[in-house]
Amino acid sequence: MKSYRGLLASCVGLAVALAPLSSAFAETQSEHMAAELANANAQLVLAQGMASDITAQGMLSADNDRAIALDDSTAMRERALAESSNGNAIEAITKGLANFARSQGDVNARNELIILQGRAAVLVSKSDADIANARAIGRQEEIANAAAQSQIAHSLADTLTSVLAESNMSNARQIAENQANLIHTPGIAQAANGQVLGANDLLAADVFLATGVLNATSSNINASTRAAGVLAHASDSLKNAQAMAAATK
C-alpha cells in the first residue's frame, strides 16, 4: 500500500515538473508558426510586387517588339516606294528619249522627201529647159528627142517623189522606231522590276508587322506565365503556413 502511494506521488510530481516544459514547448512552436505565417504573408506581398514588375516588363517588351516591327515595316515600305518610283522615273526618261528618237525619225523622213523632191525638180526643170532650147533652135529632131527625154525625166521625177520617197521615208521612220525601242525597252523592264521589288518589300513589311505582333504576344504570355508562377508559389507557401498554424492550435 505504501509502495502504491509512493508511486502515485512520484507520477504526480513528475507531471507537475514537466508541465512548465510542455507549456514552454507549445509556446515556442506557436511563436515559430506565427513567424512562418508572417514570413509567408511577407513573401506573398513580395511575390505580388515581383509579379507586377514582371507583367510591366512583359508589356514593355511587347511595346518594344511592336515598335521595332513598325520601324522595320516603315523602312521596307519606304524602300518599296523608292524602288517603284525609281523604276517609273527611269521608264519615263527612256520614254521621253524614245519619243524624241521617233520625232527625229519623222524629221529625217521629211528630209528624205525634200531631197527627192529637189532632185525631181532639177530633172523636170532641165528637161523643160532642153525642150525650150530645142524649140528655139527649131530642129524637129532635137525637139522630139528633148520631148522624149522630158517624158523620161517627168516619169523619173514622179518615181522619186512617190515610190522612192515613200520607201526612204518609211525606212527613216523604221530606223527611228528601232532606236526608240532600244531606248525604251530597258526602261519598261526597269519599271516592271521596280514594281516587283516594291511588291516584295511590301510583303516583307507586312511580315515584319505580323512578326512584331507575334513577338509582342509571346512577351506578354511569357510575362503572365512567370508572374502567375511566382504568385502561385507564394500563395502555396502561405496556404501551407496557414494550414500548419491551424494544426498547432
List pLDDT tens digits, range 173-193: 999 999 999 999 999 999 999
Q: For residue 24, what pLDDT is reported?
A: 44
Comparing 9 with 183, the larger pLDDT belongs to 183
9-23, 146-160, 211-225, range with the lowest pLDDT? 9-23
At 8, is the pLDDT very low, low, confident or very high (cuts 50, 70, 90)? Answer: very low
- Taking CA atoms, 143 is separated from 5, 112, 130, in Å, by 189, 34, 8
Residue 140 has pLDDT above 90, yes or no: no
At 242, is the pLDDT very low, low, confident or very high (cuts 50, 70, 90)? Answer: confident
pTM value is 0.61
Alpha-carbon span 211 to 208, nearest angstrom: 5
Q: For residue 245, what pLDDT is reported?
A: 74
Which amino acid, residue 129?
Answer: A
Work out the mean pLDDT of the chain and round it to a whole number: 86
With a pLDDT cut of 90, the percent of the chain lying above it is 65
Average pLDDT in the 131-153 region? 88
Q: For residue 208, what pLDDT is reported?
A: 92
Report yes or no: 183 and 104 within 8 Å, Cβ to Cβ.
no
Residue 23 has pLDDT above 70, yes or no: no
At 13, is the pLDDT very low, low, confident or very high (cuts 50, 70, 90)? Answer: very low
Give residue 8's Cα distance to chain centre: 98
Grid cell digits, residue 145: 528627142
At 249, is the pLDDT very low, low, confident or very high (cuts 50, 70, 90)? Answer: low
Q: For residue 213, what pLDDT is reported?
A: 93
Residues 6+ apart with CB under 8 A from 93: 187
